[in-house]
Structure formats: structure tokens, C-alpha cells
Amino acid sequence: MDEYEGLAPEITMYIKRIGDMREIKKHGRAVQLCDKALVHEPQPPILNVILNFKGDSLYWVGRKTHDEELILEARRCFLEVLDIDQNDYVARRGIEVIDFVDNRPLEKDFN
């Protein structure tokens, strides 16, 4: 069974391209593709996948460029996923990396 069965063709194309860009570490391009995919208003759980891809990609661009705003935007993507699914491991791990591993301030300092 195709893992993309039932998805709109546009979303399928974007998911594949986002994966390709992330694999070759072109995270900036992956963020752009995530934004284009989100225009098609995907529903959970594929929305969560796209937002997690976007959050992770923004994080890597932010780390590379030392841009705190991009890292905060990454965190917001992960929080949006957790608003939909509080048990999403990828989003929880993304926030953990930003808040604890990367020694950034805790959530209360972002509000």
C-alpha cells in the first residue's frame, strides 16, 4: 500500500520534495515547500507532518545562521502540532531540543 494513498496529489508531491530537500540538507528550500504545502490546507495527521518538517527545517536554518527568530518560529510550529496532538513525539522532541538541549530559555520566556 502506498504511504501517500488518499492524499491530494499536490500534497503528495510536496511531501516527497520536502523529504528530498531535507535529505540533502537544503532546509531553507524545505521550509519554502512546507509553506506551499500548507496553502493546500492539509488536515491532521498530514498537517502535523508538514508542520514538524517545517519546524525542524527552520531550526536547522536558524542554527546555521544564528537567527533566534527562525528558531522561535520553529518552536511555534512544534507548539501548533501539539495543539492538535498533545502526544506527538516529534513536536515534543523539537521543543525539548530548542528549550533544553540547545540551552534556550524555557517556554515562559517566549511569551
What pLDDT was estimated at residue 103?
62
What pLDDT was estimated at residue 106?
43
What pLDDT was estimated at residue 8?
84
Residues (pLDDT < 70) of the chain are: 1-5, 102-111
Question: For residues 83 and 45, what is the distance between their CA atoms, to the nearest angstrom?
Answer: 12
39: buried, middle or exposed (CB in 10 Å: 19+, 13-18, 0-12)? exposed
Q: How far is CA 76 from the centre of its chain?
A: 9
**CATH tag for 9-109 (out of 1.25.40.10, 3.50.50.60, 1.20.1730.10, 1.20.1510.10):** 1.25.40.10
What pLDDT was estimated at residue 7?
78
